[in-house]
Amino acid sequence: MSLQQAYDLDLSATLPKILGILAVTYGTWKYIEAKRSPLNAIPTIGYSGILTSYITAIKWARSSGDLLQEGYDKYPGQPFKVATISRWIVILGGPNHVDEVRKAPADVLSFRQAVAERIQNKYTLGRKFDDDPYHVATVRTPLTRNLVSRFGDIRDEIVESFKDYIPLTKDWQSVSAYDTLMHIVCRTSNRYFVGLPLCRDPGYRSLNETFTIDVAVSARIINCFPNFLKPLVGQYLTTVPKSVKRALEYLGPTLEERLAQEKLHGPEWAERPNDLISWLLETTTQDYHRTIRDLVLRILTVNFAAIHTSTMTLTHSVYDLAVHPEYVKEMREEAEKILEEDGWTKPAMQRMRKIDSFLKESQRLNSIGNMLMTRKTLKDWSLSDGTLIPAGTFVGIANDAMNKDEDAFPEATTFKGFRFADMRDGEGELDGIKHQMVSLSLDHVVFGHGRHACPGRFFAVNEIKAMFAHILLNYDIQLENDSMKRPENFCVEANIIPNTKAKVLFRKRRG
């Protein structure tokens, strides 16, 4: 036997032993780490064992709402924890906890770190993207500020989109609600973001509709692997770079022209279009962000945040409208009166209290998630009751359970379309404002709270209200077979998604 053969034989015999020792060592270390963790003092919903907790993690993937509701009911006003595939999550609930999360310093509770790990944006969107999320400031200020001046474009695209996707017909026509409303939301949003003719390009629309799914799927795959493998998995298993390449083909020429004009005439040149591209350039002061690729990523990301969340909210409201026709007459009368006085304008949307209330009630019972306001602890964090949550832990608010709390909302599981309109008519000094759909509240969390509350909620709410009013004034709707049973939602981890297969019947409004 040669020396090389002896070496190979020895290696083949010892390698499994080495790997076995490493596996046992790693398992022992994780066991000791788990036993010493302060998280052990926090009650658990589901299984808590190192191995049995994965049974709960599997349940979390499809029944997170049941787990969170169980914890909320069993431990009122107290934290509890739930196992997921990749980590433990500490769940908080109630106005006091919302306020504590809202007030916690960013160097203790990090919104950005939680988002970065959840969607793995280091691998899905790129490292530079995470360094400076300036597009958030763009959405918060210029995008929101221009709603009044650009509302006509939003209204025009709503009209044209509905003509294309749900033409007015005397007879009932069956429509796949989620997909159809997503096409309308995507077109309308991009009329505001990038304008004509690009917003109506089927390829560009499809790209933006699928980009969110590409990122979400890639992130879920990456999160299944340990940290040391994530760079490798992120490089080879994500489809996001292909989406960015396609977006460059659509947006590249426009961006090149816009950058050239700005360089030639300065940032405030006379014929500068009033759109998302200009607003992004207006917000950032860094030259390395003024590149075509970076701007494309920001536009895709704004779409990422806008399209599916608005589509889900609008779809939920359409399902609720179909099973609660008793509210139609009053909402139509409200819309007709206000539009006769103010026209299709942003101020008109603000005056539609009953429509606003109906949408908010639909959103209360059908939020976009069972858990919101997710944060990652960067340092050990103690709650006001003394509970210690160690650094590196994810925490979140059980908002869906809160939204169905009888103390905050009497008859909480009953749909009461004008619940918030009645509350706005209360005697409190701020009642007329604080119960609006866009308002933030400690006991009703749908847009988050504090400095990280959804910056695009003003755009989203006004767009949804305009679409919903358009449906009310132009269509009769019902579910298939005259059903009065609302299509059931389904969960993917903590996300609540409206039934994507349900059909809704539309026809031209009668009478």
Which residues contribute to the annotated binding site for heme? Answer: 454
- Binding site membership: which residues? 454
How is 282-309 classified by DSSP, letter by letter? HH---GGGSSHHHHHHHHHHHHHHHHHH
> What distance in Å separates the CA atoms of residue 460 and residue 462, rounded to the nearest whole number?
6
For CA atoms 36, 39, 41, 43, the dihedral sign is negative
- Alpha-carbon distance 403 to 72, whole Å? 11
Phi, psi of 373 (to 5 degrees): 55, 45
d(CA 501, CA 509): 24
Name, in order, each residue with C-beta under 8 angstroms of 257's C-beta and a sequence gap of 6 or more: none
Q: Residues 222, 64, 227, CA angle at the centre, nearest 5°?
A: 20
How many whole angstroms separate alpha carbon 323 and alpha carbon 98? 33
Cβ partners under 8 Å of residue 174, min gap 6: 480, 503, 504, 505
Token pair for residue 207? 């790209």
What are 394's two structure tokens?
């994810």
Residues 168, 165: Cα–Cα separation, whole Å: 10
- The whole-angstrom separation of Cα 450 and Cα 281 is 26
Annotate 21-77 with DSSP letters as a single string: HHHHHHHHHHHHHHHH-GGGGS-BSS--STTTHHHHHHHHHHHHHHHHHHHHHHSTT
